[in-house]
């Protein structure tokens, strides 16, 4: 048995995945809400027997190793190391890698963090930092937990410290802790500042943020905060300050609070709101949103209730709504920082966070208070502020809810609101609706999935149905690329002269090696949903699904046709109208045949 197999044999896939996803039994398998995309009904399935997982919502799937790689955002060697440790399997055959430049640079940062922390606690010069921390209400255990430090007010103190530890000039330069002078010499980037080590989500220190302290000898115009630059080990676009400390609280709370600064994070955490992170020196980036998404799909922002706050909200929503996250707003009054609020009243901050409301509701209430919605001018201001937010909403049902609300508030028809909203950007509607588990056949047993996937699941259990499906279904009835591919595979298989020599599922897996788990997952889906039925009843389910799929497809085709007809009529294109009417007749007959009329 090789190492990977040995690890898989020793660990239960459902236990490991269960640490990240709440799993409930579904037939012989387990189901849960997918950690990789936003959903309200489970599409995520784990099979202990087959040692695999699959999500019918986003299409991700694989084994224990791919799960850990995906969810932790790590490469295979690291997943191997983590799981080997969990399983108690020795990796002695794998040679320890030589300490490379990256590890050396990380060593510089970790040693300097300890040194700053000591300077804060013990050095005479550190008294300014200690007094500052005291004024800001930072408790000793908070300072300890965040390893807050003090960078002395000298040009070369850090440099001298690091040199004594034997680091090369290049390693020091790469650490981002020093600035290179014209002649190539180095000096300390951070001087007389309160220092916050920035850790990546695994807890490794990758950079620092430094806050200015009073009584600095330096230029009075100097920035309040300075940060480590982008380095070999610090990619600012994908590090969130506080995530390492916050991740378990984020999972527990089911949401993350996003604030602006280091002090906001630290004070909030001290005030027992621990599920809090900051974008550390940048505006929130898409990569940061994706990382957060591993832990939760709900984020709360503290926005100021002014136009700057609204602009910040728009920027943030553009990022997090790409990831289809739910966004809430924490009402902040009077331009205070979360840091101020948390320090003055921990309860006040806890209540503010608990009182977060859906982001659009927040802005509606702000404008209701400040704008006269009965005047034409007020309506315009309100619409200009709110419609860009509503237009960005990823969920169309939620969106139409807010269109209705705005329509009621302004006494303007929904059509007008929609027109105004779409004036800038057009959205493309997707005709294929996902069947939530509650409407899917045998809801209690299975995960939420497409009708087409249940259909193919049955075909994979009963390959003799391939001829039926190829006769009736066309490729464009398949709503996803993966299903189109499966359809074409079936056609290929059926048209082979000796198609019965290789089982259909093996054929499909060989044809689509990059998604070889998909057919197995479909089979499991059908087993869970229909496994309790005898063959005759399974075939009945197959027929029902087949009719439903054609009906949905027909409805979409007919809608599309009506649209094209209107267009042709407007243009007075008579030849085209003739052609479309014939097509309409054809679809109509198809539907009649289908309904058995
Ligand atoms: Zn998914």
Q: Tell me, in angstroms, the distance from the centre of ligand 1 to residue 55's CA.
A: 5
- Is there a domain that residue 366 lies in? no
Q: Are 229 and 208 in contact (CB under 8 A)?
A: no
Tokens of 239: 């590090």
**450 in the same domain as 579:** yes
- Residue 361 located in a structural domain: no
Residue 206: Cβ within 10 Å count: 24
Domain assignment present for 149: yes
How many A from CA of 344 to the centre of ligand 1? Answer: 42
CA of 49 to the centre of ligand 1 (A): 21
How many angstroms is it from 264 CA to the middle of ligand 1? 33
Contacts for 528 with CB less than 8 Å, ≥ 6 apart: 26, 27, 28, 29, 45, 442, 445, 446, 447
Residues 219, 319 within the same domain? no
Predicted local distance difference test score (pLDDT) of residue 275:
96
Give tens-digit pLDDT for 332-356. 766 688 898 999 999 999 999 999 9
Residues 128 and 256 in one domain: no
Domain match, 492 and 515 both: yes
**Which pLDDT score, from 0 to 100, does residue 92 have?**
63
Domain with residue 516: its CATH number is 1.10.860
User: Within a domain: residue 281?
Assistant: yes
CA of 302 to the centre of ligand 1 (A): 29
Q: What is the pLDDT of residue 551?
A: 87
| pLDDT by residue, tens only, the chain of 597 residues | 678 888 988 999 999 999 888 899 888 889 999 988 877 888 999 999 888 999 988 888 999 999 999 888 888 888 888 898 888 888 765 544 446 788 899 999 999 999 999 999 988 888 999 999 999 999 999 999 999 999 999 899 999 999 999 899 999 999 999 998 888 889 999 999 999 999 988 889 999 999 998 765 556 567 788 899 888 889 888 899 999 999 889 988 889 999 888 999 999 999 999 999 998 766 788 788 888 888 888 999 887 666 767 777 777 787 787 777 888 999 876 668 889 899 999 999 999 999 999 988 988 988 888 888 888 888 888 888 888 888 878 778 888 999 999 999 999 898 888 888 877 443 333 333 333 333 334 434 566 778 899 999 999 999 889 988 988 898 888 888 888 889 998 988 888 766 667 788 888 888 887 777 889 889 888 888 888 888 889 999 999 999 988 988 888 888 888 888 888 898 888 999 999 999 999 888 888 888 875
Nearest Cα residue to 69 out of 81, 55, 58: 81
What is the 483 CA–ligand 1 centroid distance (Å)?
A: 16
Q: Does some domain include residue 502?
A: yes
Instruction: Please report whether residue 383 resides in a domain.
Output: yes
Q: Supply the range of the domain harboring residue 171.
A: 101-234
CATH number at residue 17: 3.90.580.10
Residues 133 and 272 in one domain: no
Residues 460 and 583 in one domain: yes
In the reported structure, the alpha carbon of residue 280 is separated from the centroid of ligand 1 by a whole-number distance in angstroms of 29
| Ligand 1 centre distance from Cα of residue 430 (Å) | 18
| Confidence at residue 427, expressed as pLDDT on a 0 to 100 scale | 34
Q: How far apart are CA 526 and CA 522, in angstroms?
A: 6
* 454, 551: one domain: yes
ipTM of the prediction greater than 0.85, yes or no: yes
* Residue 535 forms part of a structural domain: yes
CATH number at residue 352: 3.40.1360.10
Rounded CA gap, 138 and 219, in Å? 27
Distance from the alpha carbon of residue 33 to the mean position of ligand 1, in angstroms? 8
Give a yes or no: residue 364 inside a domain: no
Ligand 1 centroid – CA 205 distance (Å)? 31
- Of 214, 234, 254, the one marking the end of a domain is 234
Say which CATH number the domain at 218 has: 3.90.980.10
Distance from the CA of 36 to the center of ligand 1, in angstroms?
5
Q: What is the Cα–Cα distance from 338 to 343, expressed in whole angstroms?
A: 8
Q: Which residues pair with 25 in a beta bridge?
A: 30
Based on the domain organization, do 547 and 591 belong to the same domain?
A: yes
Going from the C-alpha of 174 to that of each of 111, 178, 209, the distances in angstroms are 15, 9, 17
User: Do both 383 and 268 map to the same domain?
Assistant: no
The Cα–Cα gap between 277 and 239 comes to 10
Report the C-alpha gap between 155 and 466 in whole angstroms: 76
What is the 40 CA–ligand 1 centroid distance (Å)? Answer: 11
Q: Ligand 1 centre and the CA of 68: distance in Å? A: 15
448 shares a domain with 532 = yes
Quote the number of domains for the chain. 5
Rounded to the nearest angstrom, the distance between the alpha carbon of 43 and the centre of ligand 1 is 7
Distance 11 CA to ligand 1 centre (A): 23
**Rounded distance from Cα 521 to ligand 1 centre (Å):** 13
């Amino acid at each position: 048995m090789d190492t990977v197999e040995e690890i898989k044999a020793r660990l239960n896939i459902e236990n490991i995945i269960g640490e990240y996803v709440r799993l409930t039994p579904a037939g012989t398998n387990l189901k849960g809400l997918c950690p990789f995309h936003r959903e309200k009904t489970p599409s995520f399935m784990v099979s202990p027997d087959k040692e695999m997982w699959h999500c019918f919502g986003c299409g991700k799937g694989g084994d224990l190793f791919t799960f850990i790689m995906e969810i932790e955002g790590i490469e295979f060697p690291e997943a191997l190391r983590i799981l080997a440790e969990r399983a108690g399997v020795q990796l002695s055959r794998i040679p320890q890698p030589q300490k490379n430049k990256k590890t050396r640079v990380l060593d510089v940062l970790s040693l300097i963090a300890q040194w700053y922390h000591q300077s804060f606690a013990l050095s005479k010069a550190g008294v300014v930092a200690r007094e500052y921390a005291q004024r800001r209400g930072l408790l000793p255990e908070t300072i300890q937990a965040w390893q807050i430090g003090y960078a002395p007010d000298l040009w070369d103190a850090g440099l001298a410290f690091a040199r004594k530890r034997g680091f090369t000039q290049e390693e020091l330069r790469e650490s981002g802790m020093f600035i290179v002078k014209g002649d190539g010499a180095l000096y300390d980037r951070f001087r007389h500042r309160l220092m916050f080590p920035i850790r990546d989500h695994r807890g490794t220190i990758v950079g620092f943020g430094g806050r200015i302290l009073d009584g600095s000898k330096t230029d009075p115009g100097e920035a309040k905060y300075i940060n480590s630059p982008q380095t070999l080990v610090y990619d600012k676009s994908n590090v969130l300050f506080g995530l390492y400390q916050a991740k378990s609280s984020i999972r527990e709370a089911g949401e993350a609070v996003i604030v602006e600064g280091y002090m906001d994070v630290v004070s909030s955490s001290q005030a027992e709101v621990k599920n809090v992170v900051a974008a550390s020196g940048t505006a929130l980036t898409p990569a940061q949103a994706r990382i957060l998404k591993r832990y939760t799909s709900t984020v709360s922002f503290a926005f100021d209730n002014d136009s700057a706050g609204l602009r910040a909200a728009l920027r943030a929503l553009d990022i997090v709504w790409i990831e289809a996250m739910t966004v809430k707003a924490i009402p902040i009054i009077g331009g205070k920082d979360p840091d101020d609020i948390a320090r003055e009243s921990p309860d006040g901050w806890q209540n503010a966070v608990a009182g977060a409301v859906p982001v659009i509701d927040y802005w509606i209430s702000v404008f209701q208070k400040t704008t006269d919605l009965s005047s034409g001018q007020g309506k315009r201001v309100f619409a200009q502020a709110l419609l860009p937010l509503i237009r960005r909403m990823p969920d169309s049902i939620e969106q139409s809810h807010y269109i209705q609300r705005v329509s009621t508030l302004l006494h303007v028809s929904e059509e007008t609101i929609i027109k105004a909203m779409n004036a800038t950007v057009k959205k493309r509607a997707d005709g294929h609706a996902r069947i939530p588990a509650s409407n899917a056949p045998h809801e209690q047993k299975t995960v939420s999935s497409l009708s087409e996937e249940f259909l193919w699941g049955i075909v994979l259990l009963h390959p003799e149905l391939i001829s039926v499906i190829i006769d009736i279904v066309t490729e464009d009835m398949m709503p996803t690329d993966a299903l189109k591919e499966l359809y074409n595979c079936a056609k290929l298989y059926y048209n082979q002269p000796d198609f019965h020599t290789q089982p259909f599922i093996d054929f499909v897996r060989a044809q689509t090696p990059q998604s070889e788990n998909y057919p197995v997952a479909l089979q499991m889906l059908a087993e869970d949903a229909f496994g309790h039925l005898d063959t005759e009843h399974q075939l009945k389910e197959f027929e029902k699904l087949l009719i439903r799929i054609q009906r949905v497809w027909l409805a979409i085709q007919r809608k599309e046709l009506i649209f094209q007809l209107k267009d042709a009529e407007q243009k007075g294109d008579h030849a085209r109208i003739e052609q479309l009417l014939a097509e309409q007749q054809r679809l109509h007959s198809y539907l009649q045949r289908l309904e058995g009329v």
